Structure 1
Amino acid sequence: MCAPLAAEEACPSCAPGHCATPLAEKEFQAEGPFVFFSKLFDTSDFPQRWYCGTWSSDNGWLHIISDIGIFGAYFAIPVILLYYMLQRKDLPFPKVIWLFAAFILFCGLGHLIEAGIFWWPVYRFSGLIKACTAVVSWITVVALISLVPAALNLPSAALRCAAGQRTAEE
């Protein structure tokens, strides 16, 4: 949401009534978890992204199409990873693959929501998805850090191939 310019002045970039609230009334007001979750999909507090700022149709559609494209790829990548994992039961560290899939899906969902905010300003929901993405991201980081020593001890495919050739020759 655009910041108001003064107590009686509206932001010239926003729809009438959206930024006319005096700054002193809006600054640092916490709504608390009950209000946040009860208004999770309430859009009455925010303008559609098209009406806040000076969006040209070219710039707006560039963001929308790019975010939808990113969502598509971020949806496909974990589907492919999970398919591969389900086909190969011998993969080491399957929990990390699940974490990567969750991380990438949350990232993609965030982009899909950003595209939708041009018409459906669910900024609270968007923030919640970003918070979930951050949590899953850091869980993935911690899992990777704890996994690296074990992963470094795995023989590479080249070493296994060379060992297999030596065994076959004997």
Structure 2
Amino acid sequence: MNFEALKPKVTEIIIQFDISKDEKLTKICQLLQDAIPYYNWVGFYFANHETQTLHLGSYVGAETDHTVIPFGKGICGQVAVSNQNFVVPDVSAQDNYIACSLTVKSEIVVPIFVEGKNIGQIDIDSHVLDPFTSEDERFLEFVTQEVAKLF
């Protein structure tokens, strides 16, 4: 399925009135993982600015021990500090990478902003080397803008 066809499906989940925010986030994770073959783990981390940590929210894919990530550590922690998208074509080439699984080959992280503040991010791992394009980035920026409406 192409990204343009997925956009209304994401919006449809966001505006559902009969499910919780966490259920909406889980449904978005599941939609993305089901629709995009190289999205093997899809999850959200949310920032606690007082403790300078990210906390795992809804996700689909293999279980992870990384439920709390300090700002600056790993790809997600770096995005919490930089406020910039981070695309990693080959995680083995990254010095500051927190390995979740030997099957993860690449990662993309896009921050979520609410009123200009980075409140979290969507994190996607792939078992494929270098699958992420600028189209993935633009699509995930759309997703994070939609998710921001929940906060």
Give the TM interval when normalised to the shorter protein.
Answer: under 0.3
Normalised by the size of structure 2, how large is the TM-score?
A: 0.25
Which of structures 1 and 2 has the bigger CA Rg? Answer: 1
Question: Per residue, is there more strand in 1 or in 2?
Answer: 2
TM-score, with structure 1 as normaliser: 0.23
